[in-house]
Each structure stands twice: as C-alpha cells, then as structure tokens.
C-alpha cells in the first residue's frame, strides 16, 4: 500500500515538473502539492475550492469558466455517471475544512 502511494505521488510530481515547461523548482513543488492534495472534481468540496482559487487568481474580478455535461449524462445514465457516483464515496486526502 505505501509503495503504491509513493508511486502515485511520483507520477504527480513527474507531471508537474516536465522539462518542456521550463519552470522553477518551487513552482513545480507548488503544482505537485496542489495536484496531490486538492479535492477531486467529483467531490462536493471541489467547486468551492476552485471558486476560491479562481477568485484569488483573478483578484476577485469576474471570470467566466463554465462546464456542463448534462446532455451527455442523460444519454449515458439518468442519474449521472455510474463511475462518478462510485468515486464520490472515495475519501478526501485532506479534511474537508482544508478546502474552505
């Protein structure tokens, strides 16, 4: 189990520090930590977490990012995706209070 976690963290680190991006070490560390600890998109905590991050990034100025896939969800499964419904039960990596 521990080895699998370390390997998973290593793959997140690799994705955050690609040589093609020419970023500083500190930026790669920040991206890896955020990618590993942030709530997954299917968790309820993801929306307020991302909203706060975008508000901070844009200095509370309006931003217009929207994603809806209701048409696809209705084709695939009336109640949404079965896989997402199953993953919503996954535990968060950090306590819920960390994402507020």
Tens digit of each residue's pLDDT (9 = 90 or more) over 36-61? 888 887 788 888 888 888 899 999 99
Q: Which has more pLDDT, 40 or 79? A: 40
One-character DSSP codes across the chain: -HHHHHHHHHHHHHHHT-GGG---HHHHHHHHHHHHHSPPTTSTTHHHHHHHHHHHHTTT---------HHHHHHH-TTS-HHHHHHTTSPPSS-GGGG-
Average pLDDT score over the chain: 79
pLDDT for 77 beyond 60: no
Read off the pTM.
0.58
Q: Which has more pLDDT, 77 or 31? A: 31
| 35 close to 12: Cβ distance less than 8 angstroms | yes
Tens digit of each residue's pLDDT (9 = 90 or more) over 19-30? 787 778 888 888
Question: What token pair was written down for 48?
Answer: 């307020």
């Amino acid at each position: 189990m521990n080895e699998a976690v370390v390997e998973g963290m290593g793959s997140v680190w690799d994705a955050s520090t690609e040589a093609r991006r020419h970023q500083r070490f500190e930026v790669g560390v920040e991206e890896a930590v955020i990618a590993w600890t942030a709530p997954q998109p299917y968790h309820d905590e993801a929306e307020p977490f991302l909203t706060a991050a975008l508000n901070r990034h844009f200095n509370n100025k309006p931003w217009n990012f929207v994603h809806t896939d209701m048409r696809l969800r209705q084709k695939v499964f009336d109640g949404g995706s079965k896989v997402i419904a199953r993953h919503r039960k996954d535990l968060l990596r950090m306590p819920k209070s960390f994402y507020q």
